[in-house]
Amino acid sequence: MRQIKFRGLRVDGKGWVYGYYSFEFERGYHSESMDDVPPRCSYISNDSDCFEVDSGSVEQFTGLKDKNGVDIYEGDILKAHGEVVWNKEEYRWSCIDLNWNDKREVHDLDYLTSEFEVIGSIHENKN
């Protein structure tokens, strides 16, 4: 069974924190679909502490590790493959090929043949 965990960048600028995700919405906000509602505050808690994190930086663990044993998260950049994303149409983790200018080439992580290697994340490698 896959471990459910998240990471996010701390709002105090002290890097990533890993653990459980929770959030708060603005009071009185109502929507038919919560997909388009940004949280007011996001938190990641581990076994001993809770930290406020940038809501836009929260990423989920895919359940996969790279060839070096590093956990692969949504938003990670994989060498020779691209950005890890959740494919809503097929309900699986995929990779957007960053070598294409239109970013439409999508590969399912299950079918990529070479070994994965995390070389950064979209939050650390902003180009």
Separation in Å, CA 36 to CA 32, 52, 76, 78, 84: 10, 21, 23, 28, 21
- pTM exceeds 0.85, yes or no: no
Model pLDDT for residues 108-120, shown as the tens digit of each residue: 777 665 678 999 9
With contact defined as beta carbons under 8 Å apart, do 52 and 41 qualify? yes
Model pLDDT for residues 50-83, shown as the tens digit of each residue: 999 988 899 999 988 888 999 999 999 988 788 8
